[in-house]
Structure 1
Amino acid sequence: MLHMLAYVYKSQKRADTYVFLADRDDFARLPESLRTQLGALTFVMELELTPDRKLARENAAEVMQNLGARGFHLQFPPSTAVDPLSEDWGTDA
């Protein structure tokens, strides 16, 4: 599959969480428990995906694979875990 369309929706209940759907407004593809957790979904954009397309937080080939297999792809917020060793502790001379 060289390219496919994806329809992107933003969760109104979970910050920075997005759902990519293979078919516009096909929310029936989402498991009921997931739909409950995400709450209302607002349409954001339509994207044409190719395996080498650069996306902000996702791998386009992986998104395409999930859309083909499940009909949806879930994008979670970026990790906010902070590496304690990356901080400046002020101990260097």
Structure 2
Amino acid sequence: MKLCAVYKASRRADTYLYVPEKGDFTKVPSALLKAVGTPLFVMLIPVGKREHIANLPRDTFIEKVQAEGFYLQLPPKVESLLESHRQDLGHDPKP
């Protein structure tokens, strides 16, 4: 894989879909496409020239794309500062 196409999800903030060929969503499950909305083209990435892609080491990224036919990058989990503070104080987390 030399290039990878990156698409932004129109229905989910900070969510990106990576496919090995621009415009080819044949291996992306229809339920996933429906959930993320219309993919909006962002760019083509030269895979061989990057150490990390989608916050993954290049080889791991390539393995995932080749195995599934796509890769979905979700936004990082937002840390609750209040919950962190409560834990630091020794309080039980909220039920």
Give the TM-score of the pair, scaled to structure 1.
0.77
Structure 1's consecutive aligned runs of 4 or more residues displaced over 6 angstroms after TM superposition are 86-89
Structure 2 unpaired stretches of 5+:
90-95
1:41-89: per-residue Cα shift (whole Å, max 9, x none)? 1110101113961346233222211221222011000110336059997
Equivalent AA in structure 2 for residue 53 of structure 1: E
The correspondence for 2:39, drawn from 23, 38, 41, is 41
Alignment-derived partner of residue 14 in structure 2 = 16
Higher helix share: 2
Q: Secondary structure at the match of 1:46?
A: strand
- Over 3 Å counting, the alpha-carbon distance change for 1:87 and 1:51 in structure 2 is farther
- What is the number of equivalent residue pairs in this alignment? 87
Aligned-residue CA RMSD in angstroms? Answer: 2.6
Distance, in Å, in 1 between the alignment partners of 2:86 and 2:2 is 40
Identity over the aligned pairs, expressed in percent?
Answer: 30
Question: Which aligned pairs between 1:1-93 and structure 2 lie closer than 5 A?
Answer: 4-50=2-48, 53-55=51-53, 57-82=55-80, 84-85=84-85
- Over 3 Å counting, the alpha-carbon distance change for 1:86 and 1:24 in structure 2 is farther
Distance, in Å, in 2 between the alignment partners of 1:86 and 1:53 is 38
Equivalent AA in structure 2 for residue 84 of structure 1: S
- Over 3 Å counting, the alpha-carbon distance change for 1:34 and 1:56 in structure 2 is closer
Equivalent AA in structure 2 for residue 50 of structure 1: G
